[in-house]
Structure 1
Amino acid sequence: MRTAPRSVSRAAASSMVVAAALGLVGVQAAAQTAIAATKEASSIVTCTTANTRLTVTEAARPINHLLLKATNTGTKSCYAYSAPYLRAGADAQAVMAWADETTPQSVVTLKPGQSAYAGILTYSPDGEGGSTVKTLGVFLADRKGDATDQEKTLNLPNGGVFFNSAATVTYWQDNAADALAW
């Protein structure tokens, strides 16, 4: 009779050893995945005017909109944080408001050669004042939401664009359609 309980307990012990070994393999795999994700995230830099080419074009639709495109020209992926800080014209004393309703669910990450987009509402009948300006000053944001490095000045299409107090810019989007959908 002693033989049967021992073989059952040996089988149970063997099962527990196998389960523990499989559990250890799972923990090791999860740890390796976490380490790889951490290394990848730590190698991603902030998009700045030094590693990003900026262009602005007139949008066909909707009216009164421009499309700002930021393309990663660096060798590492970069984060396009928040929204760009924009100054309409060289004499602008304040940056444009951000359209809070366009906040994406996560930070837009650009691999080398990829682009992010921001839609710019230039004016609205609800806005006040306004003038035609020839340039757009652009600062990119860092992780904290502060402006990074130096301003990039872009020439606006058609020799100038009319802006009034309703001018607004979206947060960075990973495609042009979303940037212009608001």
Structure 2
Amino acid sequence: MRIATRFASRAAASSMVVAAALALVGFQATAQTASAAAKAPSIVTCTSANTALTVSEVSRPINHLLLKATNTGTKPCYAYSAPFLRAGADAQAPLAWVEDSTPQSVLVLEPGQSAYAGITTYSPDGEGGSTTKTLGVIFANGKGGATTAEKTLKLPNKGIFFNSAAAVTYWQDNAADALVW
């Protein structure tokens, strides 16, 4: 009986030592995680205030423009969904989003990095249309709504023709992917 008691005491003592070691490791891991979180920069939403926008014509595919957004801020920013685009000052609604272009995750732009959206300006299947000299751009927020003020860009060649088939892709991490649709 005495041997069984001594064995049980040693087992209990060993268990307490193991539990204390695990608790210490867990405490250190929690402290390291909290320290890393405190040092990591917070990620903000990309807006016209922290992002430079340019629009350019591309040679291929035809009837396309490329919208480029470059993070000019000091913190990383989320480029959510697709931009809300208004072709011309008198446009009644934003261009449609190309749902097939949805990326697997939200793009995070580090300072100096860019995101790209492809714009189809017209298609023979579309209706109506007119030549437009400006493009209004508003970033999307994390809830799918619009962010702050619209940024108006001048379109190349003194204007581009848009019709009802015009659409824009979701933000992509490279220009080639943005121009697939």
Per the alignment, residue 59 of structure 1 pairs with 58
Q: CA deviation at 1:158?
A: 2.2
Per the alignment, residue 117 of structure 1 pairs with 116
Per the alignment, residue 33 of structure 1 pairs with 33
Greater shift after overlay, 86-95 or 11-20? 11-20
Q: CA deviation at 1:27?
A: 3.3
Report the Cα distance in structure 2 between the residues aligned to 1:78 and 1:104, rounded to whole angstroms: 16
> Residues 174 and 11 (structure 1 numbering): CA distance in 2 closer, same or farther, change over 3 Å?
farther
Per the alignment, residue 103 of structure 2 pairs with 104
> Residues 63 and 18 (structure 1 numbering): CA distance in 2 closer, same or farther, change over 3 Å?
farther
Q: How high is the sequence identity, in percent, across the aligned residues?
A: 70
TM-score with structure 1 setting the length: 0.86
Greater shift after overlay, 17-26 or 107-116? 17-26
1:88-103 equivalence runs, <5 A: 88-103=87-102
Deviation digits for residues 2-47 of structure 1, max 9, x if unmatched? 2x43453344224322432343245331564267448747x21111
Across the aligned residues of Structure 1 and Structure 2, the Cα RMSD in angstroms comes to 2.3
> Residues 14 and 181 (structure 1 numbering): CA distance in 2 closer, same or farther, change over 3 Å?
farther
Q: CA deviation at 1:59?
A: 2.4
Report the Cα distance in structure 2 between the residues aligned to 1:30 and 1:58, rounded to whole angstroms: 51
Deviation digits for residues 123-170 of structure 1, max 9, x if unmatched? 112111112211111011122222122111111122221111011111
Runs (4+) off by over 6 Å = none
1:133-148 equivalence runs, <5 A: 133-148=132-147
1:1-182 equivalence runs, <5 A: 2=2, 4-28=3-27, 29-30=29-30, 32-33=32-33, 36-37=36-37, 40=40, 43-182=42-181
- Aligned partner of residue 73 in structure 2, secondary structure: coil
> Which runs of 5 or more residues in structure 1 are unaligned?
none
